[in-house]
Amino acid sequence: MITGKICGTGSYVPPRVMDNDDMAKLVDTNDEWIRERTGIARRHIAKEETTSWMAGQAAARAVEQSGIAPEEIDMIIVATSSSETIYPCAACEVQKEIGAVNAVGYDLNAACTGFVLGFNTAQAYIQAGIYRTILVAGAESMSHMIDWTDRGTCILFGDGAGAVLLRAQEGTPVRMAAHSDGKKGPALTGLSRHRKDWDLEEEEKNAYIQMDGQGVFKFAVRKVPEIIEEILEQSNVSLEEINYFILHQANRRIIEAVAKRLKTDISRFPMNLEEYANTSAATVPILLDEMNRKGMFKEGQKLIMAGFGAGLTWAGCLFEW
């Protein structure tokens, strides 16, 4: 069977760092509260970098590592909900940046679930034999989407980008699952501009991320274990066979609760949210790149990725390194 193997990973995070003490200068919060409730210590915040530029940097690093010529890339998918322009899409900017002249590019918006859905979409194209080489990136400038006076949300997010390059090879097909629950959309909303029927006050209120924190927490700790079990069941693979569970890095307590529900040791749930906070669609590919560059992956290892977020949406996949 043909499947898309990861043959290069890359990431970019802005050098500008804001730690929890910096946040305490902006809103009524403190390092202890943020660490205890979220596990976050710092976040990287873009200065001049744009979302598509950061995606381009991450993509260039993935392509360089793969040794594959940019001209061989057939498709570029950028998962983002915070690109600096609606069009041109970030994927076309990435195409220009890396010289992938033969690729078609488009963006995919599914908030924090975006990268995993982009990865699954790319696998579907490859496993169907339509394309051979696909670059998937997740890139976000969350700092533009948050109300910096709202302590309930501004402490949670950071900026950055990650990317993987997939190449068609013989192997075990990727198993995937994905769901949405549009009725729960109001639990997490962002940048609802351009509604002509709203007055200005309403528009201002809706301009930034608003979140029912506890609602999102409960959703994540229930739905992530469920989708992991769904994928394992359809793949006929046991929980014990999975080397790592690479989850969206929203909150340490969510990841710990998922591990507990699955009765699995937390050491199989790598985390880097202490350093980068929640970079939405970029968390999973940044973590993948870090683990890859540390040499944590070996051929044949079984990995599960899972994302969850606004929509509400949640998605996952099982693949072999």
Query: Which residues are the active-site residues?
Result: 112, 248, 278
Nearest 5°: phi and psi at 258?
A: -65, -45
> Which residue's structure tokens are 């710092």?
42
Of how many residues is the chain composed? 321
- Which of 88, 99, 171, 213 is in the footprint of ligand ACO by CB under 6 A? 213
Omega prior to 191 cis, within 30 of 0: no
CA distance 113 to 155: 20
CB-nearer residue toward ligand ACO: 70 or 158: 158
For residue 6, the minimal CB distance to ligand ACO (Å) is 23
For residue 36, the minimal CB distance to ligand ACO (Å) is 9
- Contact between 177 and 305 (Cβ < 8 Å): no
CA distance 250 to 247: 9
CB-nearer residue toward ligand ACO: 99 or 152: 152
- Which of 58, 73, 216, 257 is in the footprint of ligand ACO by CB under 6 A? 216
CB-nearer residue toward ligand ACO: 29 or 143: 29
Binding flag, residue 236, ligand ACO (CB under 6 A): no
Binding flag, residue 217, ligand ACO (CB under 6 A): yes
What letter does residue 282 receive in the DSSP assignment?
A: G
Q: Which stretch binds ligand ACO (CB under 6 A): 63-71, 75-83, 210-218, 292-300?
A: 210-218
Secondary structure (3-state) at 59:
helix
Give the side-chain half-sphere CA count within 13 A for 273: 30
Q: Which stretch binds ligand ACO (CB under 6 A): 79-87, 206-214, 239-247, 268-276?
A: 206-214
Q: Which stretch binds ligand ACO (CB under 6 A): 61-69, 91-99, 136-144, 213-221?
A: 213-221
CB-nearer residue toward ligand ACO: 94 or 211: 211
Binding flag, residue 238, ligand ACO (CB under 6 A): no
The residue whose Cβ lies closest to ligand ACO is 213
Q: Other CB atoms closer than 10 Å to residue 147's CB: what's the count?
A: 16
Question: What would the two tokens of residue 9 be?
Answer: 């990973």
For residue 253, the minimal CB distance to ligand ACO (Å) is 6
SS3 of 254-266: the string is: HHHHHHHHCCCCH
CA distance 46 to 298: 33
CA distance 170 to 1: 6
Q: Other CB atoms closer than 10 Å to residue 149's CB: what's the count?
A: 10
For residue 34, the minimal CB distance to ligand ACO (Å) is 6
Residue 263 CA: distances (Å) to CA of 99, 256, 268: 46, 10, 11
For residue 51, the minimal CB distance to ligand ACO (Å) is 17
CB-nearer residue toward ligand ACO: 211 or 315: 211
Q: Show the site string, 75-94: x = touches ligand ACO by CB under 6 A, - = not.
A: --------------------
- Contact between 242 and 252 (Cβ < 8 Å): no
Secondary structure (3-state) at 6:
strand
List the interface residues with ligand ACO, window 132-191 (CB under 6 A): 151-152, 155-156, 188
Binding flag, residue 112, ligand ACO (CB under 6 A): yes
For residue 254, the minimal CB distance to ligand ACO (Å) is 6
Binding site for ligand ACO (CB under 6 A): 29, 33-34, 37-38, 112, 151-152, 155-156, 188, 211, 213-214, 216-217, 250-251, 278, 308-309
